[in-house]
Amino acid sequence: MKRGKVWAGMTLASLLLSGVGFTIAETNHSGGHKPGHEISKVPVTKRMALDLPSAAKEGLKLTMREHLEAIDAIVGALGREDFAGAATLTNEELGFPKHHVAMQREQGATFPPEYHELAMAHHQAAEALGAVIPTKDLKQILPHLEQTIHACVKCHQVFRLQD
Ligand code: HEC
């Protein structure tokens, strides 16, 4: 039992580390990367700059920091085998309800269609994760957790905020 938990924790940790190992060329695949790739270093200048009013920019950054805290809390809950807690966090903090919170904070600012698509793909990946967590089967949960984190990485590789 204890060993199982340690194993799950290690798998989650290595998954988080490998979750950032994608290159732009691979972003069209949905989770079809090969393991062992290096972390891509997409130069900031290659990313599209979002020119937002400062209030919308602050709102976006707040949402992002909450996203990272949500991932932290979800992985923690899974490590403790608190599946109900992990599912609630996933659905509320990363699923479609969060999109409405994010939009309010962005105060009607306009985004390129590609940004919108990446945002939708990220909420969709989270909803799929939320749906499999109640199975309590890490073999099903971990690939969805990976895809959820990969959706964050994909958007960060394409967009940045204008200074
Ligand atoms: C649809 C696009 C998109 C998605 C999806 C997305 N982000 Fe972001 N995120 C951004 C952009 C754009 C920035 C600004 C980055 C920059 O200027 O370099 C950002 C910045 C951040 C920051 C820095 C916030 C700050 O205060 O500066 C964190 C942390 C972050 N994102 C976490 C996440 C996590 C975790 C996820 C997934 C659960 C996620 N993001 C999903 C677009 C996205």
The response to whether residue 65 sits with its C-beta less than 6 Å from ligand 1 reads: yes
Cα atoms in the 13 Å half-sphere on the side-chain side of 136: 6
**Which has more pLDDT, 34 or 110?**
110
For the chain, give every domain's residue range: 2-161
For 27-73, how does the pLDDT look when each residue is reduced to its tens digit (9 = 90+)? 444 444 545 456 777 777 789 999 999 999 999 999 999 999 999 99
What pLDDT score does 31 carry? 44
Query: How much is the pTM?
Result: 0.81
pLDDT of residue 13: 43
What is the pLDDT averaged over residues 128-155?
A: 98
Distance 2 CA to ligand 1 centre (A): 35
By the 8 A CB rule, do 105 and 59 touch?
yes
Asked if residue 56 has its Cβ within 6 Å of ligand 1, the reply is: no
Place of tokens 């799950």: 8
68 lines ligand 1 (CB under 6 A): yes
Cα–Cα distance for residue pair 48/162, rounded to 1 Å: 9
Fold of 2-161: Four Helix Bundle (Hemerythrin (Met), subunit A) (1.20.120)
- Ligand 1 near 142 CB (within 6 A): no
